[in-house]
Amino acid sequence: MIVRLGFVAMSTAEVMKGVSPSRTMTLKSFAKLADREAALRKLEHIAAENLHNTLRLLKHCTYNDVHVYRLTSKLIPLATHPDLVDWNPFAALADSFREVGDYAREHQMRLSFHPDHFTVLSTPRPEVLESSIRDLRYHVDMFEAMGLDCRAKNNIHIGGAYGDKPSAGERFAEAAVKLPESFKRRLTLENDDKTFDAIETLEMCERLSLPMVLDIHHQWVNNQGETPSELWPRILRTWESDYAQADSPADRPLPPKIHASSPKSETDRRSHADGVEAGPLLDFLRSIASVTEEVDVMLEAKLKDGALFALMDELSHYQGDGVEILDRASVRISG
């Protein structure tokens, strides 16, 4: 089984110091500028710089053989704020977005977004649902501005239980079904660490034909007694669903994807540590290797790419024990 490792948004490498893809501007600072058009141009300038730094990060990925990368949602400051609903920045940023997308396609990179925890389709409040759909539109618009097809996904959680988990699940399903087709084709669902566990998320994915991203750390701290490997054959099948398929049968299918992180401490098992321990992750990967050809692993660690490089170094010590190092960010695992 071939395993490709990826990281989230930022680099902690010294050579990439100061290369931020998420510079922002507060609404308070925006409001202080008397000339609204000038303020909007400033927002667009910041966004263009964020996209330029994103391109630099993708080149950093390519240099280090990383093909799996999560984009920050903060590329365009204040993009979904209700006070700026009349602002459409995409025309001004068209070239910058296209440059990022062209590079990702040329180098066969798997890009994704993870809209933040305010994007909740299970909410009982209509205004929050409206805001959540607006946020999903923003993420879809960014992918489309990059010219990326539906293999570029938006990963979300089902959301809160609001005191009645079955009802919250039904609200999520109803809202998801009503989403535009272009939204649904880019969605993946992930189990969370407090509310909707892996079994409940998997059942929702099967119901809606959505692919599931298994977070093995979340599953360890929020489960019904099952192991992640016990659920894996069903999770694997969700990656064969209609909404997991590429736009064209000629396109390479998407490998399944998981999230991996390690607990910060014994007393704080939900928070993410700086790095990722090789042992527990390797145990899981070995357990699925016989039934899985490829899997992409998004590392959710505080040290970002630093955690990836440290993990690869640790995995190198397992060579000859069912682990083969393929390059600086991928390995072959035997069951």
pLDDT at 244: 84
What are residue 332's DSSP bridge partners?
A: 2, 324
Q: Which pLDDT does position 250 carry in this prediction?
A: 58
Residue found by looking up tokens 């704080």 in the block = 268
pLDDT at res. 264: 85
Residue 130 has a pLDDT of 96
pLDDT per residue as tens digits for the range 277-332: 999 999 999 999 999 999 999 999 999 999 999 999 999 999 999 999 999 999 99
Tell me what pLDDT residue 265 has. 81
**Residues 59/15, Cβ–Cβ less than 8 Å:** no
Give the pTM: 0.96
Please state the rounded mean pLDDT for residues 55-66.
98
pLDDT value of residue 246: 67
pLDDT in tens, 254-275: 999 999 999 988 888 888 889 9
Per-residue pLDDT at 112: 98
For 150-198, the pLDDT digits (tens) are: 999 999 999 999 999 999 999 999 999 999 999 999 999 999 999 999 9
Structural contact between residues 334 and 41, judged by C-beta atoms closer than 8 angstroms: no
Residue 335 has pLDDT above 90, yes or no: no
How far is 280 from 223, CA to CA, in rounded Å? Answer: 16
SS3 category, 301: coil
Percentage of the chain beyond pLDDT 90 is 87
Res 245 pLDDT > 90: no
Q: Residue 330 is encoded by which pair of tokens?
A: 């991928």
- For residues 316-332, b (16+ Cβ closer than 10 Å) or e, as one string? eebeeeebeeeeebbbe
Q: What is the mean pLDDT of residues 100-122?
A: 96
CB 329 within 8 A of CB 67: yes
- Does residue 248 have a pLDDT over 70? no
As a whole number, the mean pLDDT across the chain is: 95
